[in-house]
Structure 1
Amino acid sequence: MAKNLKQLLAQIEKLQDQADALRQKERSDVIGRIQEAIAHYDLTAEELFAKPVKEINTSGARKAKGGKAAKVSMVTGKAKYQDGKGRTWTGRGKRPSWFVAAIEEGKTAGSMLVNPE
């Protein structure tokens, strides 16, 4: 059965509305399950949204699925530089955009040290 463009667009719109309604229902169900788990385990927002600690394998080698690897928590570095607005950088890795912008504005790296000596 051949359809014209107008009919196909109407059908697409109807299907999109059905998909949106289904997604909203699924979303409501998921939110309910999450809220139950939060209440059951007495979780706090700080616990839920804290930056996760990465786990790495101490040998640096990848293990096959199911293989056990010794894991160690990866600790984030101590801040070496700060901008006075709460942004910090350890001095390792790529320079953050706020640091680069401050240098371009005439600040020195030394003036942004957390503990200047």
Structure 2
Amino acid sequence: MPRIKSLSVIRAQIRALEKRAKTIESKADKRITALMRLISRHSLTLADWKRAVSLGKGGKRGAARGAGKPVPVKYADDKGNKWTGRGRPPLWLVAAEKTGRKRESFLVKNAK
């Protein structure tokens, strides 16, 4: 049976959480003020700000190396199942390994 907290304990927790929230809000206010000073000091525009935010979130940094390139098949079986060797092994390969076959037996000849 769960223990029930007394009203005084709950009120103490509320006071502690409110104090913590005020501390977090004051830190955020200080950071916003510092950011505003930095923006005005360097005469940044809204477009500059939006670009900086999008870059910080992993936005338009250029295409990832090799993005869109097909990956060669590394493993295949006689039923036409194929796997590049990236990510989780497919179910057909896991099932075959459980029956005792080695992963190397599925290697495609020209795979590295």
Q: So what's the TM-score if we normalise by structure 2?
A: 0.43
Answer 1 or 2: which has greater helix percent.
Answer: 2
Q: Which has the larger radius of gyration?
A: 2
Answer 1 or 2: which has greater strand percent.
Answer: 1
Higher relative contact order (CA 8 A, sep 6+): 2
